Amino acid sequence: MEPQLTPLTPRGPWLSPIVAGAWRMAEWGWDAQQRLRWIEQCIELGVTSFDHADIYGGYGVQALFGEALALAPGLRQRMQIVGKCGIQLVAPVRAENRIKHYDTSAGHIMRSVDESLRALRTDHLDLLLIHRPDPLLDADEVAGAFATLQDAGKVRHFGASNFTPVQFELLNSRVALVTNQVEWHPLQRAVLTDGTLDQCQRLRVRPMIWSPLAGGAMLHSQDAAAVRVRSVLQSLGQRRGVSLGSIAFAWLLRHPSRPLPVAGTRRIEALREAVDALDVRLDAQEWTEVLQAAMGHEVA
């Protein structure tokens, strides 16, 4: 499939409307050739954007991805790589870390990007996000680090992840951010009411959505809300002639903030279901059926 890229803001960057999440790659137990085949199959589906973070897989996923990419380096020109930094984990490769903490100092951001570029075997990230809001974040210092990285050609665009609207507004006042990557699905609806998605619309900054299927809970959990949502998704899928998974993604895609879901799966069929959702537009009543099932009561 020829990729149809879409802009996060009117000024870019352009990503695939469904993004492949690589955070669990270390758990897949695949060799480099298998990882390469997964990358190729994603691209064949039109899923050309790949979501990473320095900490994924105990700081190991980026190297696994880079090892696979080194088998076919020409693929780099056909993909967009999203990176994240700002979380410090206690890990064997970070012996200096006594506790998990946040670090958005210029030094850490610069070091993290350099390490990511080496691990991914690329010369630039298309997008870099601050992974979590840091209580000690100095907006001027972060903006300075971003400017240095951009001037050096190491990062092309910047954004945030898991920021509240106020936190996003602060950093955006110093440097133009292009997305806020947040958790959202029928079982986690805070961004619908806390101003996050409203801010995205106001600024014309499209959100990225992590855990669009609630980490699989919407498909498998026996929690009462998950069971209700699953029943409605199944019914809508039968009505529309698509899978439950496609309807779950279509529910997110229907929002006027025009989100880009991150599908963190090794199953190409699951990615295909996400891509199929791009052709499904739920009407207001169908969308509300899912919301009502999640809440357990009708809208006020």
Read off the pLDDT of residues 134-193 as tens digits, 9 standing for 90 and up.
Answer: 999 999 999 999 999 999 999 999 999 999 999 999 999 999 999 999 999 999 999 999
**Residue 275, pLDDT above cutoff 90:** yes
Could you tell me if 120 and 127 are in contact, meaning their C-beta atoms sit under 8 angstroms apart? no
Would 287 be classed as within a structural domain? Answer: no
AA letter at 103: D
SS (H, E, C) 123-150: CCECEEEECCCCCCCCHHHHHHHHHHHH
CA pair distance 246, 113, nearest whole angstrom: 34
- Which residues form the catalytic set? 56
pLDDT over 60 at 2, yes or no: no
E strand or H helix that includes residue 61: helix 61-69
Residue 212 has phi, psi (to 5 degrees) of -65, -20
Q: What global pTM score does this model have?
A: 0.97
Give dist(CA 132, CA 118) in Å, integer.
Answer: 23
Is residue 255 situated within a structural domain? no
Residues whose CB falls within 8 Å of the CB of residue 224, separated by 6 or more in sequence, listed in order: 296
Note whether 233 and 244 are within 8 A (CB). Answer: yes
Among all chains, which residue has been given the structure tokens 């026996």?
Answer: 222
**Is residue 77 a part of any domain in this protein?**
yes
Q: pLDDT of 260-271, one tens digit each?
A: 999 999 999 999
Q: In terms of residue numbers, what domain contains 118?
A: 6-178
Q: CA-to-CA distance for 102 and 149, rounded, in angstroms?
A: 20
Q: Which residues pair with 129 in a beta bridge?
A: 84, 159
Task: Give the whole-angstrom CA distance, residue 47 versus residue 63.
Answer: 20
Residue 90 pLDDT greater than 70, yes or no: yes
In a domain, 68, yes or no: yes
Please write the tens of the pLDDT for every residue from 229-242: 999 999 999 999 99
Write the CATH number for 77: 3.20.20.100
Q: 117 — alpha (psi -120 to 50), left (phi > 0) or beta?
A: alpha
The number of distinct structural domains making up the chain is: 1
Residue 30 lies in a domain: yes
Q: Is residue 82 part of a domain?
A: yes
Residue 17 lies in a domain: yes
Q: What are phi and psi of 2, to 5 degrees?
A: -70, 125
Q: Is residue 119 part of a domain?
A: yes
According to the model, what pLDDT value does residue 89 have? 98
What band does 1 get if pLDDT is binned at 50, 70 and 90? low
